[in-house]
């Protein structure tokens, strides 16, 4: 399966400390109505680090059940433990309708590049699902190098990367060394258009939680080489993305979802609900995009 377009790194709504599956189902429907190209539950934005394994499975199942095959689903299954990542990826593969596993670079352990290759290859060898690598050094401390990505791209079960370093030199090097059928997706809203212009296939976006149509249209304009439209949309995305990353992700995004009446702004500790100043900034950003009156 080829992965292209704008995918949403979904928030996980909470209500009274529990996953709000009703709000999550409604969010999925809203995303599909907004022309989103795919959905990614249980990633960083979904607060997977503070979900139990049973909660993660339940979240993924809710997303799959609501999507009903209308868009691809890439489910977050990775951790800093290779064996646990293998076991959880296998468990997720039993949920019919999941198209791929998003596997984050192992955090805390801080392996070298050789360890990263061994980690991802072990998971890919055992996984019934194709793997999407997830490079997010701002969260994991370590970063996949371009030669490491090129090595992993040779594995038949590793098909794409979510490149969230915001490092355009690294992104350029990755695109220049991987085969054409290996999909490079920006994991950073700020670098979506530049990566697409260099040959990337799209993005896994935080902004699209609140503005799915905007991100879909931006990626499609880039893929279609309509640079005038793409630049105009990019200039709308960047100021809003700055607001959504002005505090720990997904705190500002949940503030936006609450302002729109979609769910509570509750996050799990050590994250927190937004303060009034942040709510005001998010509200202003939504108004500038015409999403809030």
Active site residues: 134, 162
Q: Which residues contact 16 (CB under 8 A, 6 or more apart)?
A: none
Distance CA 207, CA 214 (A): 9
Under a CB-based contact definition with an 8 Å cutoff, are residues 91 and 81 in contact?
no
Instruction: Specify the 3-state DSSP secondary structure of 74.
Output: strand
Query: What gap in Å lies between CA 216 and CA 84, rounded to an integer?
Result: 34
CA distances from 27 to 36, 63, 146, 197 (A): 12, 9, 35, 29
Is 45 a known ligand-binding residue? yes
The residue whose two tokens read 């292209």 is: 4
**Is omega for the bond preceding 223 within 30 degrees of 0, making it cis?**
no
Query: Is 191 annotated as ligand-binding?
Result: no
DSSP 201: -
Report how many helices (DSSP H) and strands (DSSP E) the chain contains, helices first.
12, 10
Structure tokens at 77: 């299954």
- Which residues carry a binding-site annotation? 45, 204
- Which residues carry a binding-site annotation for pyruvate? 45, 204
């Amino acid at each position: 399966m080829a992965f292209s377009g704008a995918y949403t790194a979904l928030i996980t709504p909470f209500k009274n400390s529990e996953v709000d599956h009703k709000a999550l189902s409604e969010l999925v429907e809203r995303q599909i109505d907004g022309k989103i190209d795919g959905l990614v539950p249980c990633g960083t934005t979904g607060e997977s680090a503070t979900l139990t394994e049973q909660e993660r499975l339940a979240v993924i199942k809710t997303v799959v059940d609501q999507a009903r095959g209308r868009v691809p689903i890439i489910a977050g299954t990775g951790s800093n433990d290779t064996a646990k990542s293998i076991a959880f990826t296998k468990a997720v593969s039993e949920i019919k309708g999941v198209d791929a596993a998003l596997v984050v670079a192992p955090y805390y352990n801080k392996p070298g590049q050789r360890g990263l290759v061994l980690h991802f290859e072990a998971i890919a060898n055992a996984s019934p699902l194709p793997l999407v690598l997830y490079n997010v050094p701002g969260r994991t401390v370590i970063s996949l190098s371009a030669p490491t990505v090129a090595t992993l791209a040779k594995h038949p079960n590793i098909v794409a990367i979510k490149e969230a370093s915001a490092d355009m030199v690294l992104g350029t090097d990755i695109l220049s060394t991987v085969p054409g059928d290996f999909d490079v997706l920006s994991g950073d809203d700020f670098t979506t258009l530049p990566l697409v212009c260099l040959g990337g296939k799209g993005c896994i976006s935080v902004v699209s939680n609140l503005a799915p149509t905007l991100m879909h249209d931006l990626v499609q304009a880039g893929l279609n080489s309509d640079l005038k439209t793409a630049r105009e949309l990019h200039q709308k995305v960047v100021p809003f993305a700055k607001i959504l990353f002005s505090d720990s992700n997904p705190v500002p995004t949940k503030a936006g979802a609450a302002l729109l009446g979609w769910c509570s702004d509750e996050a799990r500790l050590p994250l927190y609900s937004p303060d009034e100043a942040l709510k005001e900034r998010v509200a202003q950003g939504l108004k500038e995009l015409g999403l809030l009156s």
